A and B are shown apart, each in its own frame.
Chain A
Amino acid sequence: MNLVQLRRKFSLLIIAMGVGFFAPIVSADDAINPTVTVGSKKFTESVILGEMVSLLAEHAGGSVTHRRELGGTRVLWNALVDGSIDMYPEYTGTLREEIFIGQAVGNEDALRKLLATHGVRMSEPMGFNNTYAIGMNREQAKNLGITALSDLRDHPELRFGFTSEFMDRGDGWPSLCEAYRLPQKNVRGMDHDLCYRALAAGGIDLMDMYATDAEISYYNLAVLRDDLKHFPRYEAVLLYRDGLADRAAAVLKQVLLLGGSIDERTMTGINARVKLDDIPESQAAADFLREKFDIEVKVNVESIGARLWRTTCEHLFLVLVSLSASIFVGIPLGVIASKRPRLGQLVLGVVGVVQTIPALALLVLLMTLLRPLSVVGVESIGAHPAIAALFLYSLLPIVRNTYTGLMGIPLPLRESATALGLSGQAQLLRVELPLALPTLLAGVKTAAVLNIGFATLGALIGAGGYGQPILTGIRLDNISLILQGALPAAGLAILAQGMFELFERTVVSRGLRLRHRD
């Protein structure tokens, strides 16, 4: 998302929040420069393929947004089905084993038919099979005499580290375990990139990997032979929405060039350039397009400053919108809670429970909940669900502190206000809220700091922000990139804290600050 779009979205959102809810955003010049939103998963190969698609689409005149590094197959599939994205790279094995798990899908034609019932079409396979594989340290494998998966039966002490997707999917650990009758019990789920590091550090012995992973040769790993032919084929394909052929025929035609054009060796090579040689994905993708199709595309590699500026804008956007919403909703909720004790317990209970939902689960849950709202322009990935989740997360400290602040007002003061003959509203506005203000502001401050930290997770669902470089940094094992997200996020949190303290000094009555000094 570039800055102009971001600003436009920002002002639109503010306006929309005022009048109703998010208004549908329709671009007028869709016919000439069709807008195309490309998605990619949060592993390097998918991001590279997403870049290839984006560059080709742009070359054909499309106005392209690439939502990179979205967190998981379901996220992308749902986004594709509800139209939040137009296309993304996928693997046939993933479709069979994850999306259509439990439905025995036959050959490729059957798969295409099934996809069509969801309004989705599939490109020709790109030419490489990135199937799952199980790998371990070459030396350790040699020492233990392990070459094939069935050899693992004799080594129950070995520890597995799997991506959480692999833990659950149809061809994943449960069925692998069953097919090979594997005895290992020490199995844990973790991030794919962290698996490699854990394996190198000796924290685990075996992990799931993809056939085209660059790390296999980098870490000198042995890929165990699938001697029972358990893993299905994972042909790389592009999935795209039905309507794209009508809406952006030229763009689609260009993008479909990728069919049959990348073999396994090529893909592994490109992966290695990005992961091991630190070439930006877009550059690697562009180099491939030049070599393969003689297509010259302009690659804008973002400077550190530009990226910092962009991620700052995105992050502030998420935080400011969600935090303002929780202030506007949270304070009245806190007031109601303090006035109606029964309702209050209910309100505090509900916002408390929301707080206990794990961050990622809340994000994914909201993506699902927001899907029906796509008809009014609410997107199920990106900023909208992230803002909704941040809003809910920020509610508790604000509601609770408003409530606590109001309940903490000594009874004699409350009664003095009542006995004066002030109306209920005047008591609240002139006496109770000003007295509760220090506690209330502390709650808003806590919410702001939590919100800034939590907003980094928004990157997992394509909302950008400081989480984006962190995510990419983890993926590419690039500490500098991680710090480019982590440091500004920490800085922003400290800044917010400082600003709130300054603000507190200006709005809280000096008479109350005297008490704090006592």
Chain B
Amino acid sequence: MAIETSFIFELTDVSKRYEGHAAIDGVDLCIGQGQVVVLIGPSGCGKSTLLRLMVGLITPDSGCVLFEQEPLSLENVRSQRHRMGYVIQDGGLFPHLTARQNITLLARHLSWDDSRIHERIETLAELTSFPLAALDRYPLEMSGGQRQRVSLMRALMLDPDVLLLDEPLGALDPMIRSQLQDDLREIFSRLGKTVVLVTHDLAEAAYLADTIVLLHEGRIVQQGDLPSLIESPANDFVTKFINAQRGASILQGGAS
């Protein structure tokens, strides 16, 4: 796929090893403006590691990660993170803060004024269909689905250029999960932002993604949309992975 516009992320020959074992092994990946890219693969394939490299939580042993044409570096990673929104499984909400305090933590730290914060919260609550009345609840007083919505609002507070979601729906039960998948897809299309999402569920990937990136043992095996993965698999692993997931999808109605 030839993309003329600038890339949001550009990874070149990136490797990361843990105790001699290659978690990411020479990955090249370009993510274009406005794309929804889903990183998928079996456990331990390196998909979460790849996402963590993008947000600068870990640094590559070799290779280069460019975010908006600039390498992530100690000096600018903080301001770069202000242009990324990062959401993890379970939401990663701070339990000592209410939903509202979680969402506004960074904005307050950056000394936004109250009216601006208030306005932004209302917009986000509407976008994520989160009841305003629940904003003063603590994470432990909320349902799993509500927590993920709050986490998404927190990630979106500064109106970042890109959303990075690490198995955002992994801990939810199937009904809520399916509802949130619908909501996420609508939110992505309304925002038009670049999204990088990690999942191990092929049905979810197919439902949300413009591009699926399939990883295996720290390398990218194939990228493209689901039909291209099915029709022209790069190797046996791709076929095996798809077939295994199909079985699970049929049995469990798309939510593994």
Contact, CB under 8 Å: B106 / A435: no
Contact, CB under 8 Å: B55 / A419: yes
Given A511-B138, A511-B139, A419 and B81 contact (CB-CB distance below 8 Å): yes
Contact, CB under 8 Å: B82 / A421: yes
Instruction: List B contacts of A518 (CB < 8 A).
Output: 140
Instruction: Give Cα A511–Cα B80 distance, bound, in whole angstroms.
Output: 30
Interface assignment of A510: CB less than 8 Å from any CB of chain B: yes
Instruction: Give Cα A426–Cα B107 distance, bound, in whole angstroms.
Output: 12
Contact, CB under 8 Å: B94 / A413: yes
CB distance from A386 to the nearest CB of B (A): 37
Instruction: Give Cα A509–Cα B86 distance, bound, in whole angstroms.
Output: 25
Given A420-B81, A420-B154, A413 and B98 contact (CB-CB distance below 8 Å): no
Interface assignment of B79: CB less than 8 Å from any CB of chain A: yes
Contact, CB under 8 Å: B98 / A419: no
CB distance from B121 to the nearest CB of A (A): 16
Given A415-B57, A430-B105, A430-B109, A421 and B81 contact (CB-CB distance below 8 Å): yes
Question: Who on chain A is nearest to B106 by CB?
Answer: A420
Instruction: Give Cα A416–Cα B165 distance, bound, in whole angstroms.
Output: 12
Contact, CB under 8 Å: B97 / A412: no
Contact, CB under 8 Å: B109 / A511: no
Encode A387-421 as 1/0 by CB contact (under 8 A) with B: 00000000000000000000000001101111111
Contact, CB under 8 Å: A419 / B94: no
Instruction: Give Cα A437–Cα B84 distance, bound, in whole angstroms.
Output: 30
Instruction: Give Cα A426–Cα B79 distance, bound, in whole angstroms.
Output: 14
Given A413-B92, A514-B141, A518-B140, A419 and B105 contact (CB-CB distance below 8 Å): no
Given A412-B88, A415-B57, A416-B86, A421 and B78 contact (CB-CB distance below 8 Å): yes
Contact, CB under 8 Å: A431 / B78: no
Contact, CB under 8 Å: A511 / B140: yes
Interface assignment of B183: CB less than 8 Å from any CB of chain A: no
Between B57, B80, B82, B84, the greatest number of chain A beta carbons within 10 A of the residue's beta carbon is seen for: B57
Instruction: List A contacts of B89 (CB < 8 A).
Output: 412
Interface assignment of A32: CB less than 8 Å from any CB of chain B: no
Contact, CB under 8 Å: A412 / B90: yes
Encode B80-122 as 1/0 by CB contact (under 8 A) with A: 1110101011101111111000000110010000000000000
Interface assignment of A265: CB less than 8 Å from any CB of chain B: no
Contact, CB under 8 Å: B95 / A515: yes
Encode A273-284 as 1/0 by CB contact (under 8 A) with B: 000000000000
Interface size on A, residues (CB 8 A): 25
Instruction: List B contacts of A426 (CB < 8 A).
Output: 109
Interface assignment of A434: CB less than 8 Å from any CB of chain B: yes
Instruction: Give Cα A412–Cα B166 distance, bound, in whole angstroms.
Output: 11
Question: Who on chain B is nearest to A409 by CB?
Answer: B94
Question: Who on chain B is nearest to A517 by CB?
Answer: B140
Encode A495-509 as 1/0 by CB contact (under 8 A) with B: 000000000000011
Instruction: List B contacts of A143 (CB < 8 A).
Output: none
Instruction: Give Cα A229–Cα B96 distance, bound, in whole angstroms.
Output: 76
Interface assignment of A423: CB less than 8 Å from any CB of chain B: yes
Encode A452-470 as 1/0 by CB contact (under 8 A) with B: 0000000000000000000
Interface size class of B (residues with CB under 8 A): 20 to 34
Contact, CB under 8 Å: A514 / B138: yes
Instruction: Give Cα A421–Cα B154 distance, bound, in whole angstroms.
Output: 12
Between A417, A423, A430, the greatest number of chain B beta carbons within 10 A of the residue's beta carbon is seen for: A430
Instruction: List B contacts of A512 (CB < 8 A).
Output: 95-96
Contact, CB under 8 Å: B86 / A511: no
Contact, CB under 8 Å: A420 / B140: no
Instruction: Give Cα A508–Cα B97 distance, bound, in whole angstroms.
Output: 11
Instruction: List A contacts of B92 (CB < 8 A).
Output: 412-413, 415-416
CB distance from A433 to the nearest CB of B (A): 10
Given A423-B78, A511-B139, A435 and B86 contact (CB-CB distance below 8 Å): no
Given A509-B96, A509-B97, A416 and B140 contact (CB-CB distance below 8 Å): no
Question: Who on chain A is nearest to B80 by CB?
Answer: A421
Instruction: Give Cα A187–Cα B32 distance, bound, in whole angstroms.
Output: 86
Encode A97-113 as 1/0 by CB contact (under 8 A) with B: 00000000000000000
CB distance from B214 to the nearest CB of A (A): 25
CB distance from A431 to the nearest CB of B (A): 6
Interface assignment of A228: CB less than 8 Å from any CB of chain B: no
CB distance from A438 to the nearest CB of B (A): 10
Given A413-B92, A419-B57, A420-B105, A511 and B97 contact (CB-CB distance below 8 Å): yes
Interface assignment of A422: CB less than 8 Å from any CB of chain B: yes
Instruction: List A contacts of B79 (CB < 8 A).
Output: 421
- For the A-B complex with A413-B95, A421-B79 known, give 11 more contacts whose Cβ atoms are closer than 8 Å: A415-B57, A419-B57, A420-B81, A421-B81, A421-B106, A430-B109, A509-B95, A511-B96, A512-B95, A514-B95, A515-B140
The 6 A-B pairs of least Cβ separation, nearest first, read: A511-B138, A416-B92, A421-B81, A509-B96, A419-B86, A514-B140
27 CB contacts below 8 A, A to B, read A412-B89, A415-B88, A416-B86, A416-B93, A419-B55, A419-B86, A420-B86, A420-B105, A420-B154, A421-B78, A421-B80, A421-B81, A422-B105, A431-B105, A434-B94, A437-B96, A508-B96, A509-B96, A509-B138, A511-B98, A511-B138, A511-B139, A511-B140, A514-B95, A514-B140, A515-B140, A518-B140
Binding site for A on B (CB under 8 A): 52, 55, 57, 78-82, 84, 86, 88-90, 92-98, 105-106, 109, 138-141, 154
